[in-house]
Chains A and B, each alone.
Chain A
């Protein structure tokens, strides 16, 4: 996961252990800045991850994601 905390730009982050790889966040992201990892997490899912740039902080992925704690979006 890219560390954007020092930057004054919006970013999203995925908890790769909680993600179930449903890809609904990818489907709703207007900027297509989310991708699916080739690695498996401990629950045998390919988790989503932030590709690292151009997130607008719109939060749509957060509401499309069924997992309470898998996605966090920050908009400074």
Chain B
């Protein structure tokens, strides 16, 4: 026995729908959306895909897809359904993702997302319901409105020289190399409807096999927007619309594409290649047993942009992270890459950190005079203040604070480059606070320094700063 009835791909009752009539859709009589919905729901159920399917609704009449489809649902910002579908698919490679869109959504505000999702060959299905008009907003001209077609915004009919021509999306996308399958079908008479059903099923199958991007344009009627009765509307669709939007398969490489080929992006990323490109020893700091922290540090690093102020803070944060402590790093700088003022706040704590801001540091690093003037007063009583005496002329209040005076830039210059003064300072900071053991910090630096060729110089600079402070005591 064969029964044609409401598919299990739909919710038995449309509970999410507002108002009465929880069994009927919100669509107007004779609207093509219902037909397309039925075919998608039927295919998802028959192919056993419902449990892993995600239906992405657009803005337009079909905005309420989540009322109906008994699977995962998203409702995207206008035109962005292919972008949302991309995210869903890439984060859940086993999901079956449908980007369901009308002509205003797909071919006007969402043109960019449409083209680029197709160009990337996203392994998704795009079902494009083209009824040549903006239905939900009241029958305005759409990108697919035909020359001469009347709408509320083209009451004299669409004029080529004023409004441009209707866009043929299927043909346009078929010029791209990545898409696997592109067909235009129509919800017209029974013959066309059954062909549309076949195309929708094929697209879903292609996705399930990991064969890539499918685009099915479904020429459909909008009796309300067209101001026609539903039967007349479908006749008009067949007679007039198909002249402008010819049916057919514009691209089909489903037989030649390897199964799973378009899933390869999920394991295409090779960290070793990135490390090699960046001349980096390894991409992570590596595992370490937790290293205890002598006491919570609330540091501020301040100086000119280009002195490595932010990097010094970042390196200290990485030491703390590898030690298993709580860490925050918060930069503040102007738009200049060099020469502006820069500072960063670093919290290194045994417990959770409430705010990444450091208003009253217990360790302040100053690498220029304005920073000493601006921040010395904010340091807590007894706090450490590390001053690069090569550059800073002033001296901090030695009664209230614990000054560490080090000619960091001069030392760095001896090591090989003045640019490495920030690491000399870092060595001084570790020595002055005894926050972590020297060897542990050096191990971390080896992993954290991005340029392999600079590792030895950095370790040297760190050691010089460390020893300068220890020997001065």
Chain A residues in the interface with B (C-beta under 8 A): 15, 17-18, 20-24, 26-28, 43, 45, 57, 59-60, 62-76
A68→B4 CA distance, assembly (Å): 10
- When distances are taken between beta carbons in the complex, the residues of chain A under 8 Å from B254 are none
- When distances are taken between beta carbons in the complex, the residues of chain A under 8 Å from B193 are 28, 60, 63-64
From B4, B23, B29, B31, A71 is in contact (CB under 8 Å) with B4
Chain B residues in the interface with A (C-beta under 8 A): 1-7, 10, 21, 23-25, 27-35, 37-39, 41, 68, 189-190, 193-194, 197, 223, 229-231, 234
Asked whether B29 lies within 8 Å of A28 as measured between CB atoms, the reply is no
**Quick one: closest B residue to A27, CB to CB?**
B231
A-B contacts, 27 listed (Cβ < 8 Å): A18-B23, A20-B24, A21-B29, A23-B30, A24-B30, A26-B231, A27-B234, A59-B2, A60-B193, A62-B5, A63-B4, A63-B38, A63-B194, A64-B193, A65-B34, A66-B30, A66-B31, A66-B38, A67-B24, A67-B25, A67-B34, A68-B7, A69-B5, A69-B24, A72-B4, A74-B4, A75-B1
A61→B230 CA distance, assembly (Å): 14
Asked whether B3 lies within 8 Å of A75 as measured between CB atoms, the reply is yes
Asked whether B30 lies within 8 Å of A22 as measured between CB atoms, the reply is yes
A76→B3 CA distance, assembly (Å): 8
A64→B231 CA distance, assembly (Å): 11
- When distances are taken between beta carbons in the complex, the residues of chain B under 8 Å from A21 are 29
- When distances are taken between beta carbons in the complex, the residues of chain B under 8 Å from A64 are 35, 190, 193
Knowing A63-B197, A66-B30, the reply to whether A75 touches B190 (Cβ < 8 A) is: no
Q: How far is the CB of B180 from chain A (nearest CB, A)?
A: 26
Asked whether A68 lies within 8 Å of B3 as measured between CB atoms, the reply is no
Asked whether B68 lies within 8 Å of A68 as measured between CB atoms, the reply is yes
- When distances are taken between beta carbons in the complex, the residues of chain B under 8 Å from A74 are 1-4
Asked whether B23 lies within 8 Å of A17 as measured between CB atoms, the reply is yes
A62→B28 CA distance, assembly (Å): 17
A46→B223 CA distance, assembly (Å): 17
Asked whether A66 lies within 8 Å of B189 as measured between CB atoms, the reply is no
- When distances are taken between beta carbons in the complex, the residues of chain B under 8 Å from A73 are 3-5
- When distances are taken between beta carbons in the complex, the residues of chain B under 8 Å from A65 are 34-35, 38
A50→B6 CA distance, assembly (Å): 18
- When distances are taken between beta carbons in the complex, the residues of chain B under 8 Å from A57 are 2
- When distances are taken between beta carbons in the complex, the residues of chain A under 8 Å from B35 are 63-66
From A15, A20, A45, A60, B190 is in contact (CB under 8 Å) with A60
A interface, over-half SS = loop
Asked whether A72 lies within 8 Å of B29 as measured between CB atoms, the reply is no
Q: How far is the CB of B448 from chain A (nearest CB, A)?
A: 58
Q: How far is the CB of B73 from chain A (nearest CB, A)?
A: 16
**Quick one: closest A residue to B5, CB to CB?**
A72
- When distances are taken between beta carbons in the complex, the residues of chain A under 8 Å from B10 are 68-69
Asked whether B230 lies within 8 Å of A23 as measured between CB atoms, the reply is yes
Asked whether B32 lies within 8 Å of A63 as measured between CB atoms, the reply is no
Asked whether A66 lies within 8 Å of B2 as measured between CB atoms, the reply is no
Asked whether A43 lies within 8 Å of B21 as measured between CB atoms, the reply is yes
Asked whether B23 lies within 8 Å of A63 as measured between CB atoms, the reply is no
A66→B36 CA distance, assembly (Å): 8
A27→B32 CA distance, assembly (Å): 15
Knowing A59-B4, A60-B190, the reply to whether A66 touches B24 (Cβ < 8 A) is: no
Asked whether B25 lies within 8 Å of A66 as measured between CB atoms, the reply is yes
Besides the known contacts A63-B39, A68-B37, 18 further A-B residue pairs in the complex with CB atoms under 8 A apart: A23-B229, A24-B234, A27-B189, A27-B234, A45-B29, A59-B4, A62-B5, A63-B193, A66-B31, A66-B32, A67-B34, A68-B6, A68-B7, A68-B38, A68-B68, A69-B5, A70-B24, A72-B5
Q: How far is the CB of B190 from chain A (nearest CB, A)?
A: 4
A70→B29 CA distance, assembly (Å): 12
